[in-house]
Structure 1
Amino acid sequence: MPRHVAIIMDGNGRWAKQRHLPRAMGHRRGVEAVREIVRAAGDMGLEALTLYAFSSENWKRPAQEVGDLMGLLKHFIVADIDEFVENGVRLKVIGRYRELAPDIVALIDDAVARTSENSRTTLAVALNYGAQDELVRATSAIAARVAEGSLAPADIDTDAFADALDTADMPPLDLLIRTSGEQRLSNFLLWQCAYAELWFTDTLWPDFSRAHFAQALAEYAARERRFGGR
């Protein structure tokens, strides 16, 4: 079993288009898929699950769609926080989420605080996230430590850099899943993907089920991880 799995949840818009529905309906169905996979992650014993929910590039989408996504985010937090508390899910948010609307930030902060002592599974949600931005922020934080004298340049290594990332308190990434047939990272967890296994499926995210998730984990288990050693 992997300890940490990340998912690029792609295909909501195509799912809706295939059914001649508004894109918002695809996003709403995608939230249901999120719920199913979060529950599956806990049942399967995963330590951590990271979901790419809203990238820093998604602001380029039409204002109506962005508004729908933000509304769904608020609804998800309010509707699911009690289940997270009950089932031992620790909520973590990565990215520049504090640049979102104040009411959303307040909901996130409350949910993170309420689940901070949970230890069954960590659910990290990437909001207003871009991996290149994360790397720049990590570099800036390290440079600040050097400037203040708390870190010597000679002590900057991969561990020090990883500790400056948004995922510092999470296990190393073992498996990255992307739905909808696309085969690229799309500025997601670039550092963390260095030795992660990659698994792609043509299944659109709203149709991604517990069975698909189990298939990805089974194929991961059958692979031989080498970490560049041979």
Structure 2
Amino acid sequence: MGVITDNPDVWGEALLGTLILFFGGGVVALVVGIVVGAMRVSPIPVARAVGTIYVNTIRNTPLTLVFFAFAFALPPLLELRLTSDVSLTLAISALGLYTATYVAETIRSGINTVPVGQAEAARAMGLTFGQVMGLVVMPQAFRSVIPPMMSVFIALLKNTTVAAGFSVVNLGSARNYLSERGENQFLVIVWVMVIFVALVLLLSWLQRTLENRWRVAR
């Protein structure tokens, strides 16, 4: 425990960085993913094409390359100076936009589980496509995609460590900082693993809670 109790400042900052990346990236992924998922099933061909191109391009690009684009290609284009806050914002954007492709596909699979007749009945009542999706389809789709969606967010949590290679402080960078203080690097890695396991177990508990609550609601 000495590796933790002797360095609370490093562990606190690293954990906070991971949580900021996770929650920030999660919000971006949910917002963009829901929009792109709706575009993927839209009756408008252009919307479907844009959604398909976005998903297939980003999802098939390694996350490290996405980070490289945000860290080295985007700042010169936007004339940004890479401060710690800017790097954190870019890392959140990279994680969110990358994870959004998986959220979109998960949402799309959930939409496909809703009987077509319900959407047709809603349209026959005069509802627009946005109203059909927001009031009829999405509420049912979300219930059916809780397990796969939680798997997406668990992957997002683990992917936050990639940001360590781009000067963003998180649990993935704890080993570098603590090695400079003479701490055993293997023990640091073990404790990082333990923390990630605890966080994943917490997400799994949240998944079971949501499943049980919404199952009763049906």
User: How high is the TM-score relative to the length of structure 1?
Assistant: 0.25
User: How high is the TM-score relative to the length of structure 2?
Assistant: 0.26
Largest Rg, 1 or 2: 2
